[in-house]
Amino acid sequence: MMEWQAKDLAEMKSVGHVLAGLLSAKKVVVFDGEMGAGKTTLIRFICEKLGVTDEVSSPTFSLVNEYLVEGQRPVFHFDLYRLETPEEGLDFGIEEYFDSGSLCLIEWAENLGPYLPEELSVVKIRDIEGLRRIDFQP
């Protein structure tokens, strides 16, 4: 496991850029943290380093955003906060995204329950007295 601490946006950006390099071989990455912990912000910095030119925002209402990366597979960003049952993930075809070979970045993955793939990486973000602690389990 790797860990970092970030006290401001500049340090979050640095962590995001490092994570982008570590995630290049990963396909499914779960971002675990409370509401407002910085999951979407960290994903924005990861996507920036990966070369995403689209605006990165939380797909809370659409459930998934697709970001284009020139000359590469797209990056998919999921926010599963609004799933009422894990089966709703199957209804919109989440398994097809997992099988696409593209990087899948998932917020609120616990709402997908048993339908998460076995092979995944986890990024945990915790707010400890105004300091973000970021743990990465490849």
pLDDT exceeds cutoff 70 at 19: yes
Confidence of residue 136 (pLDDT cuts 50, 70, 90): very high
* Mean pLDDT in residue range 19-43: 90
**Crossing angle for the helix pair 39-50 and 9-22, to the nearest 10 degrees:** 60
Strands of the chain (E only): list them: 2-6, 28-32, 64-67, 75-79, 103-107, 121-128, 131-137
According to the model, what pLDDT value does residue 81 have? 93
3-class DSSP assignment, residue 127: strand
pLDDT tens per residue across span 66-115:
999 888 889 999 999 999 999 999 998 999 999 999 999 999 999 999 99
Pairing of strands 103-107, 121-128: unpaired
Residue of 119, 117, 110 whose CA lies nearest to 137: 119
pLDDT exceeds cutoff 80 at 60: no
Average pLDDT of every residue of the chain? 91
Q: Cα separations (Å) of 45 from 19, 31, 92, 135?
A: 9, 13, 27, 16
pLDDT exceeds cutoff 70 at 31: yes
Number of domains in the chain: 1
* Mean pLDDT in residue range 113-126: 93
pLDDT exceeds cutoff 80 at 46: yes
Rounded to an integer, what distance in angstroms lies between the CA atom of residue 90 and that of residue 48? 29
Q: What CATH number does the domain containing 111 carry?
A: 3.40.50.300
More confident residue, 135 or 26: 135
pLDDT tens per residue across span 5-18:
999 999 999 999 99
Domain boundaries, position 22 = 2-137
Q: In 10 A of CB 14, how many CB atoms?
A: 14
According to the model, what pLDDT value does residue 25 have? 66
